[in-house]
Amino acid sequence: MAMASLQHRTADLLVIGGGIHGCSAALHAAMRGLQVIVFEKDTVARHASGVNAGGVRKLGRHVAEIPLSLHSMSIWRRIADLLDDDCGFQPSPQIKVAETAEELETLRGRVAELNSLGYTHEQILDRQTMRTYLPAVAQHCVGAIASLDDGFAQPYQTTFAFQRKAQQMGVRVLEHTPVERVSRSGEEWKVQAGAQEFTGRFVLNCAGAWGGEIARQIGDHAPVRAYAPMMIVTERLRPFCTAVVGAAGRPLSFKQMPNGTVVIGGGRPGVPEPANNRTHMQMSELRHSAQTAMDIFPVMRGAQIVRSWAGIEGLMPDGIPVIGPAAHAPGAFHAFGFSAHGFQLGPGVGDIMAELIATGSTQAPIKPFSIKRFPQDPTRAQKELS
Amino acid sequence: MNACDLAIIGAGPAGMAAATEAANAGLSVILLDEQPAPGGQIYRGIETVPEERRKLLGPDYGKGLSIAQAFRASNATYIPEATVWNINPDLSIDYSRNGGSSQISTRHLLIATGAVERPTPMPGWTLPGVTTAGALQILLKAHGGVGDDVVLVGSGPLLYLLAQQMIEAGGPPKAIIETIDRSHYLKAARHLPRALSALSYLRKGMAMMRQIRRAGVPHYTGARDIRIEGAQRAEAVCFSAHGRAHRIETTSVALHQGVVPNQQATRLLGCDHVWSESQRCFIPKLDAFFESSVENVFVAGDGAGIAGANSAEIRGRIVALRVAQKLGDDKGTQIRALQKKLSRDEAIRPFLETLYAPSDEVMVPHDDVLVCRCEEVTAGAIREAVDLGAPGPNQIKSFLRSGMGPCQGRMCGLAVSSIIAERRKENPQSIGYYRLRPPLKPLLLSELAQLEREPTRDEPL
């Protein structure tokens, strides 16, 4: 990276991490008139944001995530207007099939719970209705839970589109620029990156699996762990499935893309190496995904796998992200640890973070995602601040 | 699972020689190969080809027989018809055979998967009737004949060897259209003094050219702006040469622009690669004993940089002795002798590489040329994505789907890196290559599903 002038090293908001959350927050902050710099240690969308399964899913979310997911969905529906790029977004049902009567009973319980909370986006499909949506599903499947107006998109295309739109709005995206140090000095945040020092009023941690270290430098504690979801894609098959499919009783994420290829994920992880940005596939684990896919769609038995891959994602112990202000430090914010289901939330949470940072508050119910739910170290935080 | 001392992938000259040498040195050796019989591409079918056809294919081909026989006679375990589809970081190898998956473990690995023909994107190259010189040669080795109106297009020794073999087989090509730029002759001449120490290669080359001339095969030189015309299939090759436009009608076109190392396995293992300006391709970074940047992973044969069958065999032996040495046997003298022999055999390479360097037309094709055949991505689409800000091959892959089809990037990889490099005015070295992931070859879901679990691996969760 070339040396930037002093003016170019100062901004309102310094965003750490060029994934979908960093780029979305940067864009939304720029739309609110903030000057923004994004720091990305590799290239934009290099990890989880670029290589996830692309599900745009409200189905099956933690109850606390539902309002955020609904908000995000409203942005997805106009994503082409927002980004001048359709992001490959395709509305489609998301369906999770039950293979036993007990599983279906659990799903009924879920719908009842959501209904009691006033949410109606998930519904039970009886066997016959399920088969109209999934004519190729195995005979033994007894029913399903579905969110009919979900969809999927192209992850890299989407994150790249957020980056480009943000850049058009004046955001500076610095790739190959790892953040070495975050510190507070007076009323300002300093970010040491690529042998230069940047200054901003606000700092936003969107560093995914690497978010724990950034949080530590801000003075917070969050037990994020690197995690490497593995995926498989097959050769092109004759169209047989238009919905995104999961299974109630075992891990699966399954969808046939418009070009006929089938993407299978949702199973056990590979081995992440966050220190050198690599992942290793565990084919011996991936075989379970292969088995599940064949069990639920017998047509898959003759399908050829063309590729497999994995990306590095940040996983929280309770499976929901960290979203909101830092525990103690003023002007610092977090949006990381999306635990392998952050892609759909990207547009919405970016908007919420921009609102929170630009105006000091948000109507969005983000309290359950506070970093304070994890034990913090107040003495260290005090020291960092003084 | 007991690990063997040396596992070898590929039963070409490098693989066979390494297996033989290592087994004779007392090492436990397993050789996995895709084909039903040893030989690799260069000595394909060497044990079973009828004697008459073996003669027709020439003495260089016949030489493979003694290598195969020595390999058969050795104690190396040979697993033919095995498709290796994954190599784990601990060097355990997953392969499928007869519809099932198996795994072996090894302490050292030799990747001897050889070379692949450099893909030659040009207008019309995807039409039925267009193939490669290598594919035609396989047909020739298997059946003895390849059709009667074949037009050979491109550059490189294999093009002339194929022409010669077709002449011998009684069906000469209809024409040879050579793309070598005139400037290459001057540049290559600089390497002649060194090449003279490998005189036998030069003599063979000249004899080949004389035979082609005598057979009266029309031979066009300095061809540019080549395109293959045809509505449903190839009908003609059009080009300009020395200021004149030509059109040669044919239903069968064989393209060739030399061969390049097959990088799939070394990329999968994360070995460092360097861009070779002279060979215009990526080559794994290797030490003097052909060990890669990943410890205990070796590469020999053309996969270690194109040098032909004789060098491949020598390289294979060097690797075998080096592994024996690592396991405690002093093989220094033998290794040094082989290294000297290798250096003599490779003396011809700079001359050949310069003379037959692929044309820019092929390396960085025009905008309307399909580069990724599987997903139908043009060179122009790649340039547009670069202009939008996609920085490298992996982003281009994610964005345009190039390299995501059944060929797993084999056909477009080098071209995509070269086009990005040209557009960004950088060297392909800094642009890099696709990240490769298992399976190395397309694999049935059912084959993966029945893979035995590895007992030694710790769970990440």
**Closest chain B CA to residue A300:** B445
Given CB atoms, is B399 within the 8 Å cutoff of chain A? Answer: yes
- Closest residue, chain B, to A167 (C-alpha): B389
Inter-chain touch B389–A157, beta carbons under 8 Å: no
Q: Does A43 contact B392 at a Cβ distance shorter than 8 Å?
A: yes
Q: Shortest CA distance to B94 belongs to which of B440, B459, B405?
A: B440
- Cβ contacts (< 8 Å) between A261 and chain B: which residues? 404
- Record: contact A287-B451, CB cut-off 8 A: yes
Of A157, A160, A294, Cβ closest to residue B445: A294
| Cβ–Cβ gap A284/B89 under 8 Å | no
Kindly calculate the radius of gyration of chain B based on its CA atoms and give it in whole angstroms: 22
**A344-356 burial string, b = 16+ CB within 10 Å, else e?**
bbbbbbbbbbbbb
**Per the CB < 8 Å rule, is B438 touching A308?**
yes
In the structure encoding, which two tokens stand for residue B162, read together? 């194929």
Q: Which amino acid is at B147?
A: G
B376–chain A Cβ distance below 8 A for any pair: no
Nearest to A281 among B389, B408, B437 (CB): B437
Q: Does B402 touch chain A (CB under 8 A)?
A: no
B20/A contact by beta carbon, under 8 A: no
| Closest partner CB to A305 (pick from B270, B435, B442) | B442
- The tens digit of pLDDT for each residue in B52-93 reads 888 877 888 888 999 999 999 999 999 999 999 999 999 999
Nearest chain A Cα distance for residue B2, angstroms: 18
Contact B448 A307 (CB under 8 A): no
The pLDDT of residue A207 is: 98
* Subunit contact B442:A304, Cβ cutoff 8 A: yes
**Closest residue on chain A to B461 (Cα):** A269
Instruction: Decide if B439 and A305 are in contact by the 8 Å CB cutoff.
Output: yes
- Per-residue pLDDT tens digits of chain A, which is 386 residues long: 455 676 679 999 999 999 999 999 999 999 999 999 999 999 999 999 999 999 999 999 999 999 999 999 999 999 999 999 999 999 999 999 999 999 999 999 999 999 999 999 999 999 999 999 999 999 999 999 999 999 999 999 999 999 999 999 999 999 999 999 999 999 999 999 988 999 999 999 999 999 999 999 999 999 999 999 999 999 999 999 999 999 999 999 999 999 999 999 987 899 999 998 899 999 888 999 999 999 999 999 999 999 999 999 999 999 999 999 999 999 999 999 999 999 999 999 999 999 999 999 999 999 999 999 999 975 655 555 54
Interchain CB distance below 8 Å, A304 and B443: yes
What integer pLDDT is reported at residue B183 of this predicted model?
85
Partner residue opposite A290 with nearest CB, options B270, B449, B452:
B449
- Say whether B445 and A303 touch across the interface (CB within 8 A): yes
pLDDT attached to residue B133 = 95
Q: Sort out which chain A residues have CB atoms less than 8 A from B88's CB and list them.
A: 280, 283
Contact: A272, B438; criterion CB under 8 Å: no
Backbone angles phi, psi at A42, to 5 degrees: -110, -115
CA distance A234 to chain B (A): 8
Chain B residues within 8 A of A286 when measuring between CB atoms: 448
Which CA distances in Å does B294 have to A19, A313, B64, B339? 30, 26, 30, 22
Backbone angles phi, psi at A33, to 5 degrees: 90, 5
CB pairs under 8 A between A and B: 109
Nearest to A353 by CA among A373, A374, A338: A338
The partner residue sitting opposite A283, judged by closest CB among B94, B404, B460, is B94
- DSSP code at position B392: S
A252 to chain B, closest Cα gap in Å: 14
Would you say A37 and A177 are in contact if contact means Cβ atoms under 8 Å apart?
A: no
**Low-confidence residues in chain B, pLDDT < 70:** 1, 452-461
- Token representation of residue B66: 């003694």
d(CA B177, CA B241): 9
Distance CA(B15)–CA(B168), nearest Å, equals 29
B388 vs A164, A306, A309: nearest CB: A164
Residue of B nearest to A88 (CA): B399
> What is the torsional sign of CA A309, A313, A315, A321?
negative
Distance CA B93, CA A333 (A): 46
Give the whole-angstrom CA distance, residue B417 versus residue B282: 10
> In whole angstroms, what is the distance from residue A18 CA to residue B458 CA?
32
Query: B442: which chain A residues are within 8 Å (Cβ-Cβ)?
Result: 235, 304-306
CA distance B131 to chain A (A): 23
pLDDT in the model for residue A378: 57
> Which of B84, B96, B411, B437 to substitute to test the interface with A, most A CBs within 10 Å?
B437
Spell out which residues of chain B touch residue A41, defining contact as CB-CB under 8 Å.
none
Chain A CA closest to residue B397: A156
Best A261, A304, A309 member to test B by mutation, with max B CBs in 10 Å, is A304
pLDDT for the residue numbered A2? 52
Helix (H) / strand (E) element for B279: namely none
Chain B positions in Cβ-Cβ contact with residue A229 (cut-off 8 Å)? none
DSSP state of B437: -
Residue A154 is classified by DSSP as: -
Residues of B in contact with A301 (CB under 8 A): 445-446
Query: Could you give the 3-state DSSP secondary structure of residue B435?
Result: coil
Does B120 lie at the interface with A, CB-CB under 8 angstroms?
no
A51, closest residue in chain B (CA to CA): B398
Measured distance CA(B101)–CA(B94) in Å, rounded = 7
pLDDT at B144: 78
CB-based contact (8 Å) between B373 and chain A? Answer: no
Mutate which: B448, B451, B456, B459, vs A, most A CBs within 10 A: B448
Contact B86/A at CB under 8 A: yes
Contact flag A287-B408 (C-beta cutoff 8 Å):
no
Does A293 sit within 8 Å of B445, measured CB to CB? Answer: yes
Per DSSP, the three-state class of B181 is coil
Say yes or no for a CB contact (<8 Å) between B460 and A228. yes
| Chain A residues close to B406, C-beta within 8 Å | 235, 304, 306
In this prediction, residue B409 carries a pLDDT of 92
Give the mutation candidate from B374, B445, B457 for the A interface (greatest A CB count, under 10 A).
Answer: B445
pLDDT at A7: 67
Chain A nearest-CA residue for B448: A287
pLDDT at B454: 46
